[in-house]
Structure 1
Amino acid sequence: MLMKPQRLRKGDTIGIIAPASPPNQENLQRSFSFLEELGLEVKIGKHVYDQYGYLAGNDEDRLTDLHSMFMDKEVKAIICAGGGYGTGRIASNIDYELIKHNPKIFWGYSDITFLHTAIHGQTGLVTFHGPMLASDIGKEDVHPLSKEYFKQLFEPTAIQYTNEISPLETLIEGEASGRITGGNLSLIASTIGTPFEIDTKGALLLIEDINEEPRSIDRMLNQLHMAGKLYDAAGLIIGDFNNCVPERELSLSLDEVIDHYTQLANKPAMKGFKFGHCSPHVSIPLGVQAEMNTEKKQLIIESGIQ
């Protein structure tokens, strides 16, 4: 059953957690002023500043921060400080009943994709794929449009993505509709064979990634293809693939790889969307209904809040 979280109001408290890698502390501190500009209060998880190798603290502590923010009645939304690696390590121990009975806005991307997939699959909660505090918002050169889309949390608003935001290119013509799912390709692929395997049946599948060679993108898309995830999807939304260039002379290009698998899927597909490790980074709700029209070059996504 689909659950949309409650909208934000000025004066609400935002919980900040780091469920993956240690965030850039300077950027994180700088991001708080943006939340204050939105009229929001900030509550920082106890372990946001922890470090355990490439993790922002051990698994138990990162899980504790996640649970604490969902339990905290004062906290109306949870925004991840950054991504990196580590959310898959805590997914099996998350109390999904706790989340189901305390639904609220949950926001992030990149490694957070595993949590988006797990939380929605286990609870039906709509979550948000959007720029994070230390990774994006706290940077000195953050794009104004990346900030603009936070406003969707305050008022139910359908998102209309057209050529006016970025040039869109049709790969497979057609119209498609369904709930929107996906995120970071590496994390989507890592859910296969787990209790949190992504469900793409009748869905619009969004994919994006960063710093992966075309051969790695090929491997992950082939895994999704063989698992039936591309065929099951109603349509494909190709987000930003930042710095996904070959490091060797003999290589297929990224476009050749993506074209190959979109042709195999043979479902309506467009690329050029500013979703992912890019600037601007347009934030969108996951789990809600969306419509894609390649002739009109547009993607319309219903509001993720109530």
Structure 2
Amino acid sequence: MPTMTMKLIFPEKLNHGDIVCVISPSKSIQTIGKGSTGQYTLNKARENINNMGLKVISSTETQEVDIFGCLPLKKRLEEFHSAFSNPSIKCILTAIGGFHANQLIPYLDYELIRNNPKIFCGYSDITLLSAAILKKSGLVTYSGPHYSTFGMNKGLNYTIQEFQKCLFQKDPWTITASGFWSEDEWFLNQEDRIFKQNKPITCIQEGTAEGSIIAGNLTTLHLLQGTEYMPEMNDVILILEDLRSSNEITRTLVSLLYSKDTGNIKGLIFGRSPSSSKLDTRTIKHILEIVQLKNIPIAFGIDIGHTTPHTTIPFGGFGKLICDQNGVKLTIIKH
């Protein structure tokens, strides 16, 4: 296993009766709970998490939000530090993604985080917090569902199963594609859902790799380039997703791969994007012609990011990726 500058810390796994705290480092939980539909989503999220044997508490209950729908920076920092310093809390779930989580990064108490390791999980804008926490404290976090994600009434089984495999169990497991996927605005209409038949994760370039995992939103990770909060990107398996257009995804990926922050990439997996992105295997092959990532396994179609359902992947954990004529096998070894 590759060594990192700072000793890695893996938080304790979840057990029946553990407490989950919901915080809003990006957009406020209030942006979810507006109206009867929003309140239903929050109630359903609590119910689904309770059904896993966990107890949910919310952090700051304040109606004060800024013009972007975020809590004031001071409030966001207070609830972040309060959740990490509370020994009864075993897992921290972000309410939702959005924008402006990067405002917290210079002010986070990384020593507090390192001395009080616990599960921290979210995706999208939360990617940069996972990156900064890994770099500055050594704590492995998780690219996975938000609290709001658990507010779905339908199509949540795969998300729950993967969440439990990663955060309740210590054994390695192999990630396979979900049977069905959706890109509908489920949070606006919980009943008339549109699900599509999923495809297996696709092998684009054959190869085998073992390495540390960096997983999350490409655009958000890109925001950290050149900063002291960018995690080590040498000898890693990159697992990336994005919802923007294939043009924007391509140029951002090229920028990331050409960055001085990025060293030897051992493997690359693209998450499934919304249809509007027009990101497919043909586009990815074109990208490869430009950046010339040769002799490494490359795959497409893992369930992370801005479609549903979601797997849960350790940001800073360790895995093995095999791409060949038999398909794609991603095994999460240490999480």
Tell me, yes or no, whether TM beats 0.5.
Answer: yes
- Summarize deviations over 1:172-209 as a string: whole Å, max 9, x none: 21101101113101101111011112322000001101
* Contact 1:237 1:270 (C-alpha < 8 Å) held by counterparts: yes
Letter in 2 for 1:188: L
Q: Equivalents in 2 of 1:105, 1:41: separation in Å? A: 14
Among 280, 297, 301, the alignment partner of 2:332 is 301
Does residue 172 (structure 1) correspond to residue 197 (structure 2)? The answer is no
Name the stretch that deviates more: 193-202 or 174-183.
193-202
Does residue 6 (structure 1) correspond to residue 12 (structure 2)? The answer is yes
Structure 2 length normalisation: TM-score? 0.83
CA 42–98 in structure 1, closer or farther in 2 if over 3 Å, else same: same
SS in 2 for 1:191: coil
SS in 2 for 1:29: helix
Q: Equivalents in 1 of 2:205, 2:304: separation in Å? A: 19
SS in 2 for 1:241: coil
CA 139–162 in structure 1, closer or farther in 2 if over 3 Å, else same: closer
Q: Equivalents in 2 of 1:9, 1:163: separation in Å? A: 26
CA 22–113 in structure 1, closer or farther in 2 if over 3 Å, else same: same
Q: Equivalents in 2 of 1:189, 1:281: separation in Å? A: 22
Q: Equivalents in 2 of 1:261, 1:129: separation in Å? A: 24
How far off its partner does 1:270 sit? 0.7
Alignment of 1:201-240 (within 5 A): 201-210=234-243, 212-227=244-259, 232-240=264-272
Q: Equivalents in 2 of 1:31, 1:161: separation in Å? A: 24
How far off its partner does 1:28 sit? 2.3
Among 116, 125, 133, the alignment partner of 2:147 is 133
SS in 2 for 1:298: strand
Identity of aligned residues (%): 29
Alignment of 1:177-196 (within 5 A): 177-196=210-229
Q: Equivalents in 2 of 1:16, 1:163: separation in Å? A: 28
Among 96, 106, 119, the alignment partner of 2:110 is 96
Does residue 265 (structure 1) correspond to residue 279 (structure 2)? The answer is no
Q: Equivalents in 2 of 1:257, 1:242: separation in Å? A: 14
SS in 1 for 2:104: helix
Among 277, 291, 297, the alignment partner of 2:320 is 291
Does residue 146 (structure 1) correspond to residue 159 (structure 2)? The answer is yes
How far off its partner does 1:228 sit? 5.1
Letter in 2 for 1:301: I
Consecutive unaligned residues of structure 1, counting only runs of 5 or more, are: 247-252
How far off its partner does 1:6 sit? 0.8
* Contact 1:217 1:257 (C-alpha < 8 Å) held by counterparts: no
Q: Equivalents in 1 of 2:223, 2:283: separation in Å? A: 19
Q: Equivalents in 2 of 1:231, 1:237: separation in Å? A: 17
SS in 1 for 2:273: strand
Letter in 2 for 1:21: K
CA 270–49 in structure 1, closer or farther in 2 if over 3 Å, else same: farther
Could you tell me which residue of structure 2 aligns to residue 197 of structure 1? 230
Does residue 82 (structure 1) correspond to residue 88 (structure 2)? The answer is no
Structure 1 length normalisation: TM-score? 0.90
CA 58–163 in structure 1, closer or farther in 2 if over 3 Å, else same: closer
* Contact 1:17 1:48 (C-alpha < 8 Å) held by counterparts: no
* Contact 1:47 1:56 (C-alpha < 8 Å) held by counterparts: no
Letter in 2 for 1:193: G
Alignment of 1:32-71 (within 5 A): 32-47=46-61, 50-71=64-85
How far off its partner does 1:85 sit? 0.8
CA 106–33 in structure 1, closer or farther in 2 if over 3 Å, else same: same
- Summarize deviations over 1:82-130 as a string: whole Å, max 9, x none: 1011111111110000000000011111111001111111111111111
Q: Equivalents in 2 of 1:235, 1:222: separation in Å? A: 15
Letter in 1 for 2:157: P
SS in 2 for 1:259: helix
Does residue 16 (structure 1) correspond to residue 22 (structure 2)? The answer is yes
SS in 1 for 2:10: coil
Q: Equivalents in 1 of 2:285, 2:273: separation in Å? A: 14
How far off its partner does 1:282 sit? 1.1
CA 16–291 in structure 1, closer or farther in 2 if over 3 Å, else same: same
Q: Equivalents in 2 of 1:115, 1:187: separation in Å? A: 10
Q: Equivalents in 2 of 1:80, 1:270: separation in Å? A: 28
RMSD of the alignment, in Å? 2.0
